[in-house]
Amino acid sequence: MDATTSTIKPAAGWLPALGLALGSALFAAGPASAQPSDAEEESRAETPKYGGELEGFEYAYPVERFSLTSQRQELQMAYLDVAAAEPNGRTVVLMHGKNFCAGTWKDSIERLTAEGYRVIAPDQIGFCKSSKPEGYQFSFHQLAANTHALLESLDLDDVTVMGHSMGGMLASRYALMYPEQTEQLVLLNPIGLEDWKAEGVPYQSVEEGFEAEKNKNAEGIREYQRSTYYVGEWEPRFDQWVEMLAGMYAGPDGERVAWNQALTSDMVFTQPVIHEFGEIQVPTLLLIGEKDNTAIGKGRAPDDVKQRLGDYSVLGERAAERIPDAELVEFPELGHSPHIQEPERFHEALFEGLDSLDDA
């Protein structure tokens, strides 16, 4: 296997100034006041237009819906529930990132179910095919509670929770809130491995974030993903995930989508989880593409701050040191989305890591 695997124990007395914080966007957007260029207008004209709950974009697996009452609102949480042909009795819950959806886990679902796992992949409230309320107090605690309610409705307990990007922050919060229901924790290039606000990234208001979100288009999304997710490379198979995101912004409910994205961006920036990593009680597998350079709000930061943010070759090791029972697997040449960039290599490492957690 090309990945480098190492088991790391927390170093006593190590207290770095880590954490996280989010600006308004996880990919580049132009100034709120700028008028779209001819190229941007052409890009928007060619972008598929999807509904506010991603109507028109099909996932590879059937979508089910969980109805819940939350914050005095009747909401629906879309999710995938995919059974294995030969079950091994275990369940993996997949938590998507901010620029991702349950459908983005397609390759992982295929491979996990082939290994016998039942897979539950929700779209969190505010994202993708789930409800996008006009007003909602977004917090990782609330999203974790929503997910726990979904799992209770399915009579599921003692699950492996796996989170990517923003989903890594949510999975960490879930494990902290529900340790008795969490068998294992898997963090795939989680964001928030440094506290951007504490590091010196200026705060951006929700209103400013909303204006930036409204300017997002397929061209900007593609270029951000090329540089951050895939280390400057691009393959045609990545285009479906660009269209998935850009299509919601370009569709008839684009402003509602942008508003929810601004609200959740504020959640990520202001609710760091990393300061509680030492309290995680469950065996944890960290899977880190070291070429990832995600650092929320980095573009707003002073140059001296900007230069030190987003170094995942360091952040992954520091996170593993903070988590009491952690195993770290590094992919030196991969970016923010190893499971999409090189799925065969990633999933080989995932299953070896899960087996190692079991043996431990």
CATH number (domain holding residue 72): 3.40.50.1820
Pair of tokens at residue 22 = 């989010």
- What would the pLDDT profile of 151-185 be if each residue is shown by its tens digit? 999 999 999 999 999 999 999 999 999 999 999 99
| The pLDDT of residue 19 is above 80 | no
Look at the chain and report how many structural domains it folds into.
1
* Residue numbers of the domain that contains 93: 4-359
| Alpha carbon distance 286, 184 (integer Å) | 11
| Alpha carbon distance 326, 322 (integer Å) | 8
**Is-above-0.85 flag for pTM?**
yes
- What would the pLDDT profile of 112-133 be if each residue is shown by its tens digit? 999 999 999 999 999 999 999 9
φ, ψ (nearest 5 deg) of residue 110: -60, -45
Residue 356 burial by Cβ neighbours in a 10 Å radius (0-12, 13-18, 19+): middle
- In the chain, what's the furthest Cα-to-Cα distance? 58
Residue 353, C-beta contacts closer than 8 angstroms, at least 6 positions apart: 5, 186, 285, 287, 327, 329
| The pLDDT of residue 24 is above 70 | no
In this prediction, residue 212 carries a pLDDT of: 96
- What is the mean predicted confidence (pLDDT) over 238-262? 98
| The pLDDT of residue 54 is above 60 | yes
- Mean pLDDT for all residues in the chain: 90
